[in-house]
A and B are shown apart, each in its own frame.
Chain A
Amino acid sequence: MASETSMTAAACETHPARRSSLGWLPWVVLAVFGSVLVAGGNFLLREYRPNSTLTQCLPALDALWGFAALFLILTGLGRVRVLMGRELATFFQSPLAYILAGLYFLITSIPVFFSTGGFDYVDATASTKAIVDASGFLMLLVAPIVTMRLLAEEKASGSMEILVTDPVTDWDIVLGKFLAAVLCLVAMVLPLGLYVVLFAMMRKSSDPALEWGVISTATVGLICLLAFYASVGLLASALSKNQVVSALIGLVALFMIFVLGVVLPHLFSQLSGELGPKLKSMAEAISLRKRLDVLLEGQLDLKSIFLFVSTTVLMLYFSVRAVESRKWR
């Protein structure tokens, strides 16, 4: 063992501080440096190429960079990174990941054919929307399966006891697992990008141009949705020891959120009087379905993004409380 130093605060000898305090810095520097680059790029594009496709996509690209920077800063926390790494390794080691990803790719491909009527005429923008739409729905089923083992397995095997008695906080645990889940889901969606590339290549000069603005905000919407699904799935996993039970909890919760988002506005619109439209607009304001639709229209609606982000953070907070519940149960 390395030489022991006596701490002034401590009555007896403890081991020397071994944590490298610099661990966080490179990631933050990277995030800040990247942000400066992105801001500069924004300025230059707006100034010199105000009409280019890239400029149209700027708001969405900025939002994507925002997510990436947040991710960098969070993974900069060494313990979060370690936990996330193990989770990702476990996920990509299991055949389940590839089976799910394959099935997912196949099923989401179906709307491409329906919306395009084969590949004769490609309305790429409409197809992209259809894909994001279908992904949003299909992920409802897939996300809980991806997230079910995150905390439930640790609790069932008892390794939770080791995890929470190691020097990590409950937030570290939840964040590490959440980021891993989001990365897994994003990795499963990524192959769909191939279609967009395909559309771009197949476009004839007579066809309408690809609306990159719409495609980029749709991507932002999809990532928001995936993060939200991951957080709900994680909470479900924190609530049960049994993986199947936690998958079911997640599935039912997500399905209810989805259905309420569709059904409530419709229901309220049937109401007569002044109350009906008011309630309808309220229900639509918090309906994730409607919020996603707004993003699919190619409008980078900050309210929508805020709704997704805040509900995700709320779910993570509940997950932390659920992990903590060992203390007061």
Chain B
Amino acid sequence: MIEVEGLTKRYGDFPAIQDVSFKVEKGQVLGFLGPNGSGKTTTMRILTCFMPATSGTARVCGYDIFEDSMEVRRNIGYMPENVPLYPNLRVNEYLSYRARLKGLGRSQRRKEIAELVDRCSIGDFDRVIIGKLSKGMRQRVGLAATLLGGPPVLVLDEPTVGLDPNQIREILGLIKGLGGERTIIFSSHILPEVEMVADHLAIIREGRIALTGSLEQITRAAGGSKVRIEARGDGQKIRDAVEKVSGVRKAVLGSRDGLAVLEVEVAAGTDAREGLVKAVAGAGGGLLELSCGRTSLADVFVRITATEG
């Protein structure tokens, strides 16, 4: 559905993005992650034909973004950061204006606007002047306008920025509901949001794609998993035994209330739990608790965007 190959954009000598490539299949929700200023918006602006890239190509729905810009724009719903609307128009006027710009006929316009007002829970606000709306409501109006005409691809630039937690949840819920039916790219620098909604990730750092893949793949490949063990007994001895279990990379010993607490890092793709239980028992420890946790996305993100390189 979306294929990006080797996109590079320079502002003068400054490279905003370099050799960005990724793919999004139909129905996928791609979380586009990266610290501020890493090139998320630039990539999205190129994809939506706002400006061309210095080099590289991209195809949306099979149309080249440079050669078939008009077709690409018909197939993409783009919501820029901060959702600029016209504050002097009423919500329904604005939606009708956008629908007409997108070439919707009268009957389809009415039908779609009614549907979207309902779907984005704009409800009674559809006759309110946009300038008087709250930020969250404005975001919903923006999303509704983006959905007009049923574009199969949605590109949402930081759709949750500046919203309160309840509004964030609502917007994310809406986006999640659209996944499967539409192909979605949305950018964010807030990890839990991406984890909640996206099934695929592209992490961008200093203008380069640092990592792409499904949520599972990324956490597994980059992180492995963590096991936490609480046991009664000689901590040192238990740790030595645990470190010998195959697949264990590292075990850090701590203590709490006189109990030994081990944070064990297990290599990706191995299940070391059984071995760990035996090792603890073999070292004469009494196993009280063993809990598994995936490395959180936050760990991966921090490691990729901060420490590496």
State the A residues within 8 Å of B (CB): 1-2, 4, 7, 9-15, 18-20, 78-79, 82-83, 85-86, 89-90, 93-94, 157-159, 161-162, 164-169, 326-327
Complex A-B, nearest 7 residue pairs according to Cβ-Cβ distance, in ascending order: A11-B62, A158-B84, A19-B103, A10-B62, A1-B150, A159-B84, A82-B100
* Shortest beta-carbon distance from A326 to chain B in Å: 6
Q: B61 within 8 Å of A by Cβ?
A: yes
Could you list 4 further interchain pairs (A-B, Cβ under 8 angstroms) beyond the known A82-B97, A326-B50? A15-B75, A82-B100, A158-B81, A164-B50
Binary contact track B29-64/A, C-beta < 8 Å → 1, others 0:
000000000000000010011111000000101110
B59 neighbours in A (Cβ, 8 Å):
11
Query: A79 CA to B97 CA in the complex, in Å?
Result: 10
Give the residue name and chain of the B residue nearest to A161 (CB): B80
Give the residue name and chain of the B residue nearest to A2 (CB): B150
Q: A159-B86, A165-B73 are in contact. Are A14 and B152 (CB under 8 A)?
A: yes
A326 neighbours in B (Cβ, 8 Å):
50-51
A169 neighbours in B (Cβ, 8 Å):
70
Q: B85 within 8 Å of A by Cβ?
A: yes
Binary contact track B57-91/A, C-beta < 8 Å → 1, others 0:
00101110000001101111010111011101100
Q: Is the CB of B149 within 8 A of A161?
A: no
Query: A73 CA to B132 CA in the complex, in Å?
Result: 37
List B137-155 residues whose CB lies under 8 Å from chain A: 145, 149-152
Q: A18-B104, A93-B88, A159-B85 are in contact. Are A9 and B62 (CB under 8 A)?
A: yes
Q: B26 within 8 Å of A by Cβ?
A: yes
* Size category, B interface: 35 or more
Q: A18-B103, A79-B101 are in contact. Are A165 and B50 (CB under 8 A)?
A: yes
Give the residue name and chain of the A residue nearest to B76 (CB): A165
Q: Is the CB of B82 within 8 A of A158?
A: yes
Q: Is the CB of B108 within 8 A of A90?
A: no
**B103 contacts which of A4, A162, A167 (Cβ < 8 Å)?**
A167
Q: Is the CB of B73 within 8 A of A166?
A: yes
B100 neighbours in A (Cβ, 8 Å):
78, 82
Q: Is the CB of B1 within 8 A of A12?
A: yes
Q: Is the CB of B74 within 8 A of A15?
A: yes
Give the residue name and chain of the A residue nearest to B41 (CB): A161
Q: Is the CB of B150 within 8 A of A162?
A: no
**Can you show 7 pairs from A to B with CB atoms below 8 A apart?**
A11-B61, A12-B62, A82-B97, A90-B88, A161-B45, A161-B80, A162-B80
Query: A327 CA to B63 CA in the complex, in Å?
Result: 19
A2 neighbours in B (Cβ, 8 Å):
108, 150
A79 neighbours in B (Cβ, 8 Å):
101, 103
A18 neighbours in B (Cβ, 8 Å):
102-105, 108, 149
Query: A165 CA to B151 CA in the complex, in Å?
Result: 13
Q: B23 within 8 Å of A by Cβ?
A: no
Q: A161-B45, A166-B73 are in contact. Are A13 and B152 (CB under 8 A)?
A: yes
A86 neighbours in B (Cβ, 8 Å):
86, 89, 97
Query: A129 CA to B75 CA in the complex, in Å?
Result: 54
* Shortest beta-carbon distance from B80 to chain A in Å: 4
B78 neighbours in A (Cβ, 8 Å):
161-162, 165
A19 neighbours in B (Cβ, 8 Å):
103
Query: A112 CA to B50 CA in the complex, in Å?
Result: 51
B70 neighbours in A (Cβ, 8 Å):
167, 169
* Shortest beta-carbon distance from A17 to chain B in Å: 9
Q: Is the CB of B49 within 8 A of A14?
A: no
Give the residue name and chain of the A residue nearest to B80 (CB): A161
Q: B98 within 8 Å of A by Cβ?
A: yes
Q: Is the CB of A78 within 8 A of B103?
A: yes
Q: Is the CB of A90 within 8 A of B52?
A: no
B52 neighbours in A (Cβ, 8 Å):
327
Query: A176 CA to B138 CA in the complex, in Å?
Result: 26
Query: A82 CA to B150 CA in the complex, in Å?
Result: 20
* Shortest beta-carbon distance from B133 to chain A in Å: 15
Q: A165-B76, A166-B98, A327-B52 are in contact. Are A15 and B63 (CB under 8 A)?
A: no
B82, B98, B103, B150 interface centre (most CB from chain A within 10 Å): B103
Give the residue name and chain of the B residue nearest to A10 (CB): B62
B89 neighbours in A (Cβ, 8 Å):
86, 89-90
* Shortest beta-carbon distance from A95 to chain B in Å: 12
Query: A166 CA to B149 CA in the complex, in Å?
Result: 11
A15 neighbours in B (Cβ, 8 Å):
74-75, 149-152
Give the residue name and chain of the A residue nearest to B12 (CB): A329
Query: A19 CA to B109 CA in the complex, in Å?
Result: 11
Query: A123 CA to B243 CA in the complex, in Å?
Result: 109
Q: Is the CB of A165 within 8 A of B61?
A: no
A9 neighbours in B (Cβ, 8 Å):
62
Q: A18-B104, A19-B103 are in contact. Are A167 and B73 (CB under 8 A)?
A: yes
* Shortest beta-carbon distance from B101 to chain A in Å: 5
Query: A9 CA to B81 CA in the complex, in Å?
Result: 32
B45 neighbours in A (Cβ, 8 Å):
161
Q: Is the CB of B61 within 8 A of A10?
A: yes
Q: A11-B62, A12-B26, A161-B80 are in contact. Are A167 and B50 (CB under 8 A)?
A: no
Query: A170 CA to B254 CA in the complex, in Å?
Result: 65
Q: Is the CB of A166 within 8 A of B26?
A: no
Query: A89 CA to B93 CA in the complex, in Å?
Result: 11
B105 neighbours in A (Cβ, 8 Å):
18, 20
Query: A20 CA to B100 CA in the complex, in Å?
Result: 11
* Shortest beta-carbon distance from A227 to chain B in Å: 25
Query: A93 CA to B90 CA in the complex, in Å?
Result: 12
Q: Is the CB of B101 within 8 A of A82?
A: yes
B61 neighbours in A (Cβ, 8 Å):
10-14
